[in-house]
């Protein structure tokens, strides 16, 4: 099968992944309105291309929090990569390093932070944190990540409770017996998401700041008001995100929320966006509207499902080529 665009990888993953795994990765909350709107919103945005510009040489590199990446697409935090490929997050880390970009490793990885770090030494990695009721476990994770050379801490803010994903409920989703949420083994039975702490507030950013020297990026911001609070509480970055439409349904598409957030922060912190990015032209639209970089979630998993590390590199390479072409054609 010739893989020409990201939807080819999606079709492959849907065909070959076990149904319970496909349903878990594909799931949106409730009617999946927000999940689908993330994609549709990009289709409504139009370019105003300029002609007769010299586009013979293009530099698509950028920097995020001072670290250079080869192009403005990173890998968003998603859980349970072994559902897509046996080597799980180790393959993800290797692909990100090979493509010279950032990988945000999830609290809910099926490989340990140590395994992820050892798989791709020297790669640019951030660590995504859920704060649990067991604060000692969360503190230990932050300190492990920093000790292992992770370069940013991404606090997910939009999951005080897990959204209702109907297919997961129907399927009685849980990890197969041979897979574990490795970073939390021994701390508690992690698949009981009730162990997430719903009492987390903005003040907990000060608590995180007391634990680490890593820059803090907050993920899940969708409004001007919360963007201003994020800046006020001293974060270094914001990821405009609705959790891939998996949390509150009927919220805004992330590309629509991006403009409001960028306007609110006025350049004081870096702003990134995830959700719905399926083409290189989507990346260009996000950058044109003020994002410093985009992060992909589901497409990374489709790449893993296709050929592991090699498949994920293919996904990133296609996005990179499409982004460069869109830049050129838009002048």
Q: Which residues are marked as active site?
A: 243
Query: Is 278 annotated to bind ligand?
Result: yes
Query: Is 282 annotated to bind ligand?
Result: no
Residues 6+ apart with CB under 8 A from 150: 105, 113, 117, 125, 126, 127, 214
Q: Is 193 helix (H, G, I), strand (E, B) or coil?
A: helix
290 torsion bin: left (phi>0), alpha (psi -120 to 50), beta (else): left
Tokens 């670290």 correspond to what residue?
67
**Cα 166 to Cα 301: distance, rounded to the nearest angstrom:** 20
Query: Is 224 annotated to bind ligand?
Result: no
Query: Is 326 annotated to bind ligand?
Result: no
Query: Is 298 annotated to bind ligand?
Result: yes
Query: Is 143 annotated to bind ligand?
Result: no
**Cα 162 to Cα 181: distance, rounded to the nearest angstrom:** 17
Query: Is 77 annotated to bind ligand?
Result: yes
CB 35 within 8 A of CB 248: no
Q: Which two tokens stand for residue 173?
A: 């989703």
Query: Is 251 annotated to bind ligand?
Result: no
Q: Is 29 helix (H, G, I), strand (E, B) or coil?
A: coil
**Cα 195 to Cα 209: distance, rounded to the nearest angstrom:** 22
> Comparing C-alpha atoms, which of 108, 178, 186, 105 is closest to residue 148?
105
Query: Is 252 annotated to bind ligand?
Result: no
Query: Is 198 annotated to bind ligand?
Result: no
Query: Is 133 annotated to bind ligand?
Result: no
**Cα 45 to Cα 197: distance, rounded to the nearest angstrom:** 38
Query: Is 128 annotated to bind ligand?
Result: yes
CA distances from 324 to 196, 279, 280, 313 (A): 41, 11, 8, 16
CA distances from 209 to 111, 123, 235, 248 (A): 26, 24, 9, 28
> Comparing C-alpha atoms, which of 320, 299, 275, 318 is closest to residue 39?
275
Query: Is 297 annotated to bind ligand?
Result: yes
Query: Is 61 annotated to bind ligand?
Result: no
Query: Is 274 annotated to bind ligand?
Result: yes
Query: Is 139 annotated to bind ligand?
Result: no
Give binding residues for FMN as ranges.
77-79, 106, 128, 130, 156, 219, 241, 274-278, 297-298
Give binding residues for glyoxylate as ranges.
24, 165, 243, 246
Give binding residues as ranges.
24, 77-79, 106, 128, 130, 156, 165, 219, 241, 243, 246, 274-278, 297-298
């Amino acid at each position: 099968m010739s893989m020409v665009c990201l939807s080819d990888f999606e079709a492959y993953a849907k065909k070959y992944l076990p149904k319970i795994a496909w349903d878990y990765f594909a799931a949106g909350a409730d009617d999946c309105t927000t999940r689908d709107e993330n994609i549709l919103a990009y289709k409504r945005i139009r370019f105003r291309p300029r002609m007769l510009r010299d586009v013979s040489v293009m530099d698509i590199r950028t920097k995020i929090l001072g670290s250079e990446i080869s192009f403005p697409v990173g890998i968003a935090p998603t859980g349970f990569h072994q559902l897509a490929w046996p080597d799980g997050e180790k393959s993800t880390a290797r692909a990100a390093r090979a493509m010279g970009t950032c990988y945000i490793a999830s609290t809910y990885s099926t490989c340990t932070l140590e395994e992820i770090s050892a798989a791709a030494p020297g790669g640019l990695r951030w660590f995504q944190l859920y704060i649990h009721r067991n604060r000692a476990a969360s503190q230990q994770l932050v300190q492990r990540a920093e000790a292992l050379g992770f370069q940013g801490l991404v606090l997910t803010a939009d999951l005080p409770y897990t959204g209702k994903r109907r297919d997961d409920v129907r399927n009685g989703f849980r990890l197969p017996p041979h897979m574990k949420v490795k970073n939390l083994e021994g701390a508690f039975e992690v698949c009981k998401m009730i162990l997430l702490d719903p009492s987390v507030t903005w003040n907990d950013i000060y608590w995180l700041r007391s634990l680490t020297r890593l820059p803090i990026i907050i993920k899940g911001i969708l409004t001007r008001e919360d963007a201003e609070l994020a800046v006020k509480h001293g974060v270094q970055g914001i990821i405009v995100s609705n959790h891939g439409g998996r949390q509150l349904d009927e919220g805004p598409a992330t590309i629509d929320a991006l403009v409001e957030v960028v306007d609110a922060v006025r350049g004081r912190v870096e702003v990134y966006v995830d959700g719905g990015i399926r083409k290189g032209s989507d990346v260009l639209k996000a950058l044109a509207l003020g994002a410093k970089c985009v992060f992909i979630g589901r497409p990374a998993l489709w790449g893993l499902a296709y050929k592991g590390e090699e498949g994920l590199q293919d996904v990133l390479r296609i996005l990179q080529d499409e982004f460069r072409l869109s830049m050129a054609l838009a002048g």
